[in-house]
Chains A and B, each alone.
Chain A
Amino acid sequence: MFTATPLTLKNERSEKAARLVFLSMTLLMVIPLLLIILHLVAKAWPILSLDFLIKNPSHGMRAGGVFAPLLGTIYLVLFSLLIATPLGVMTAVYLNEYARDNALTRIIHLAVVNLAGVPSIVYALFGLGAFVLAAGIGRSVLAASLTLAIMTLPVIITSTKEALSSVPFAFREACWNVGATRWQTIRHVVLPNSINGILTGIILQVSRAAGETAPVMFTGAVFYKAIREGDFFAYGLLDQCMALSMHLFTISTQVPDVPDALPYGTAVVLLGTVLLVNAFAIILRVRLRSRKKW
C-alpha cells in the first residue's frame, strides 16, 4: 500500500497552493465586475423609471431623461449595422469560400487584424478627415455611422468566418455534385446553415457600436440637440444627433452641478443595453452549440 512520503505531501501542498492562487486571481477579476454593476444600479435606482427613458434632457442637462441620446444611439447603431453587415458577411464569404492560400489572402487577414487593433480615437480622426471633410458629408448621423461601420467590421468578419468554416465541407461537395454553382451553394446551403453564428456576430457588432464614444464625438454626435419627445423619426440622415455614450461623458465631466443620479442613470441605461445585447448573443451561441446536427 502507498503511504504519503514527504515528497508527495509537499507536492500535494504545492498543488493546492497553485490552485488557490489561480482561483483567487480569477475571482479578483470577476468579483469587481459584479460589485461595480451593483454599485451603479444602487446609485441610479431613484431615477430609473420609464419616464427617464422617454423624457429629453432638460434644464441644461441637469434634469430630465435620456430620450434624445438613446434615440441617437439607436440611429447610429442601425445605420452602421446596415453598412457593416453586408460588407462584413461578404468579406467573410470571400475569405472562407473563394480565397486561395496566397499572398492576397494573407494581406486581407492582416488588414482585418489591424482594423480590429486601430485605436478608436484614430477612427475618429479618420471619420473626420474622410467622411466629414473630404467627402463633404459634414458632421451627421451618416458620417458617424460610416465611421462606426468600418470600426466594427472586424467583429462581423471574424464571427461570420467562424460560422462559415463550421459548416462541413461535405455539404458543399454534395451541392456541387448535383450541379449547383459556387454562389448557389453559398446562398442555399452554406449561409442558411451558419445563420446563427452570423447573427451572433451582428449582435456583438451592435453592442460594440452602441458603446463607442470617441469615433462619434467628432463625426456626428453633439452635446445637445432638442428633439420632439416620443418622435422616433426625429433625426435625419444628415442631421447631427445626441448619443448615449457621449451624453454620459458630457454630463459627468463637462456640465457642473449635475445631480448625482443622472449620470449614474445614464451609465446604467448604456451598460444595461450593452450587457443585454451581449447576453442575447451568448444565449444564441449556447443554443446553437447544443442544437448542432453535425
Chain B
Amino acid sequence: MKGRTRFESIKEWLIERIIWICGVSSILFVFAIFFFVFREGSAFLFRGFKPVEFFTSIEWYPTSQSHVRYGALALILGTFSVTTLAMLIAIPFGLGAAIYISEFCSARVRETVKIIIELLAAIPSVVWGFIGLTIMNSLIIRLFHAPIGLTMLNGGIILALMSVPIVVSIGEDALKAVPDSYREAAIAMGCTRWQLVYRVLLPAARNGLLAAVLLGIGRGIGETMAVLMATGHSIRIPTSLLDPVRTLTATIAAELGEAAVHSDHYQVLFIIGILLFMITFIINLTADLIVKGIRKQ
C-alpha cells in the first residue's frame, strides 16, 4: 500500500484539530455568556447591591433623584405570574394536541398539523408582541370592558401561543418513545383509546412530558419582546388577570437603552440578566437530565 505523504497527514491532523476546537467552542460560549454578563454587573454586585431589597421590595426607582431603589419583587412576580398563566393554557392544550397527533389522527393529518405548529413556532416574538398590542388588545377591551387591554391576560395568552409548539413537539416525542408493545398489550386487554392514553401512555411517558413542560416554562421566562409589548409595562404586584404587569426581561429591554454605561442602574440590569441566565440554565439542565434518563431505560 502506498503510504500517505507527509503533507497529507499534517493536513489531516490540522483539520482534526480545527474540528475539535469547533466542537468545544460551544462550552466556551456558555462560559463566555456567563462571564461577560457577570463582568458588566459584578462591580455593583459586590459593592452597593442589596440582595434583600432586590428580592423583597417592590420599589423599583432606578432613576430617582433623591433615593434610588432597586426592588425587583414586582418584576419577579410579573415574570412568574405571566409565565404561570401561559403554562396553565399551554400545557393542557399543548399536551392535548400532542396526544391527538400521536394517537388519534391519520398520518396525513399528523404531517399537516405538525407543519402548522412548526410555522407557529417560527413567528418572530416581535410580531407576537404586535399581535398582542393590536388584535388581543382590542379583543380584551371589547370582551371584558376593560379600560386597557395590555394586561397580564394578554401577555399570558400570547406567551401560551408561543410556548405551545415546544410543548407539542417534545410531548409528541415523549409519547412516540413509549414502546408499541405497551399499546398492543393495552388494546389486547380491551382498552379503549382513551383508557390507553390515560392509564398507559401518560404514566409511561411521564418524564418526557415533564421535560416538555419544563422547556415550555423556560421559553416563557426568557421571552422578551412579546411580553414587553403586550403586558402593559407597569410595576406592581398583579391582583387580577386584567392588571398590567412588567417582567424581568421586559425591564432589561426597556431600560438598557437609557441607562448610562457602567452606572449602577446599568449594572443592576446585568444582575437581572445573571438571574435569568441561572434560572434558564437550571431549567434546561433538569429537562436534559430527564430526557437522558428516559433514553437510558
Of B126, B192, B218, B287, chain A has the most CB atoms within 10 Å of the CB of B126
- Asked, given contacts A26-B101, A213-B225, whether A248 binds B130 with beta carbons under 8 Å apart, the answer is yes
- What are the residues of chain B within 8 A of A58 when measuring CB–CB? none
Contacts of B168 in A (CB 8 A): 29
Q: With A19-B104, A23-B100 in contact, is A213–B194 under 8 Å at CB? A: no
Whole-angstrom distance from the CB of A93 to the nearest CB of chain B? Answer: 6
A114 and B15 CA atoms in complex are apart in Å by: 27
**Contact in complex: A98, B224 (CB < 8 Å):** no
- Select the stretch in B33-41, B68-76, B200-208 that faces chain A: B33-41
B152 located at the interface, meaning its Cβ lies under 8 Å from any Cβ of chain A in the complex: no
Q: Given the known inter-chain contacts A87-B25, A270-B127, please indicate yes or no for A125 contacting B40, CB distance below 8 A.
A: yes
Which of the candidate stretches B47-55, B56-64, B112-120, B177-185 sits at the interface with the other chain?
B112-120
Set of chain B residues within 8 Å of A36, measured between Cβ atoms: 131, 135
Q: In the complex, A125 Cα to B37 Cα: how many Å?
A: 6
Bound state CA distance, A181 and B273, in angstroms?
46
Known: A123-B33, A129-B36. A29 touches B117 (CB 8 A): yes
Instruction: Give the nearest-CB partner of A110 in chain B.
Output: B288
* B contacts with A, residue count (CB < 8 A): 87
Residues of B within 8 A of A93 (CB): 19, 22
| CB < 8 Å neighbour of A117 from B113, B124, B280 | B280
User: How far, in angstroms, from A26 to B100 measured CA to CA in the complex?
Assistant: 7
Whether the Cβ atoms of A248 and B23 lie closer than 8 Å is no
In the complex, whether B97 has a CB less than 8 A from a CB of chain A is yes
Q: Are B1 and A179 in contact (CB under 8 A)?
A: yes
User: A90–B23 contact, CB under 8 A?
Assistant: yes
Given A94-B23, A125-B252, decide whether A213 and B40 contact each other with a Cβ distance below 8 A: no
Question: Does A238 interact with chain B (Cβ within 8 Å)?
Answer: no
Q: Is the CB of B37 within 8 A of A267?
A: no
Q: A110-B285, A214-B225 are in contact. Are A104 and B122 (CB under 8 A)?
A: no
Pair B97/A26 contact, Cβ less than 8 Å: yes
Interchain CB contact under 8 A, A126 and B32 = yes
- Please measure, in the bound complex, the distance between the C-alpha atom of A279 and the C-alpha atom of B118, giving whole angstroms: 9
Q: Which residues of chain B have C-beta atoms less than 8 A from A157's C-beta?
A: 26
| Prevailing SS type, chain A contact patch | helix
Task: Evaluate contact between B93 and A119: CB separation under 8 angstroms.
Answer: no
Residue from A121, A129, A133, A150 having most chain B Cβ neighbours under 10 A: A121
Contact in complex: A113, B19 (CB < 8 Å): no
A245 touches B126 (CB 8 A): yes
Is B170 in contact with chain A by the CB < 8 A criterion? no
A18 pairs with B193, CB closer than 8 A: yes
Contact in complex: B30, A182 (CB < 8 Å): no
User: A235 to chain B: closest CB distance in Å?
Assistant: 20
Assembly CA distance A272 to B43 (angstroms): 44
Please name all residues of chain B whose beta carbon is closer than 8 Å to the beta carbon of A162 when the two chains form the complex.
Answer: none
**Is A130 positioned at the interface, with any CB of B under 8 Å from its CB?**
yes
CB distance from A264 to the nearest CB of B (A): 8
In contact, B222 and A121 (Cβ under 8 angstroms): yes
Q: Which residues of A contact B287 (CB under 8 A)?
A: 113
| Chain B, residue nearest A120 (CB) | B224
Within 8 A of A (CB), among B243-263: 249, 252-253, 256-257, 261
In the assembled complex, the Cα of A267 lies from the Cα of B118 at a distance in Å of 19
The closest CB in chain B to the CB of A35 belongs to B135
Nearest chain A CB to B110 CB, angstrom units: 10
- Find residues 229-288 in chain A having any chain B CB closer than 8 Å to their own CB: 245-246, 248-249, 252-253, 263-264, 267, 270-271, 274-275, 278-279, 282
Q: Are A29 and B120 in contact (CB under 8 A)?
A: yes
B16 A182 Cβ-Cβ under 8 A = yes
| A153 interface residue (CB < 8 Å to B) | yes
Residue A166, interface by CB 8 Å: no
A15 to B196, CA, bound (A): 10
The answer to whether A45 has its CB under 8 Å from any CB of chain B is no
Q: Is A99 on the interface with B (CB-CB < 8 A)?
A: yes
Q: From residue B126, how far is it (CB to closest CB) to chain A in Å?
A: 4
Given contacts A108-B27, A212-B125, A246-B126, 10 further A-B contacts (CB under 8 A): A23-B100, A40-B131, A95-B23, A110-B288, A113-B288, A117-B281, A119-B221, A214-B125, A214-B249, A245-B124
| 30 A–B pairs (Cβ distance < 8 Å), ordered by A | A14-B194, A15-B194, A18-B104, A18-B193, A22-B96, A23-B105, A26-B101, A29-B97, A91-B23, A91-B25, A93-B19, A107-B27, A108-B27, A113-B287, A117-B281, A119-B249, A125-B40, A125-B252, A125-B256, A126-B33, A129-B37, A129-B40, A208-B122, A211-B123, A211-B125, A214-B125, A249-B126, A252-B129, A271-B124, A278-B119
Q: Considering the complex of A and B, which 10 residue pairs feature the smallest CB-CB distances, nearest first?
A: A211-B124, A119-B222, A94-B23, A25-B96, A90-B22, A22-B100, A18-B194, A129-B36, A117-B284, A111-B26
B-to-A contact residues, CB < 8 Å:
1, 4, 8, 11-12, 15-16, 18-20, 22-27, 29-30, 32-33, 36-37, 39-40, 92-94, 96-97, 99-101, 104-105, 113, 115-120, 122-127, 129-131, 133-135, 161, 164, 168, 192-195, 197, 215, 218, 221-225, 229, 249, 252-253, 256-257, 261, 269-270, 273, 276-277, 280-281, 283-285, 287-288
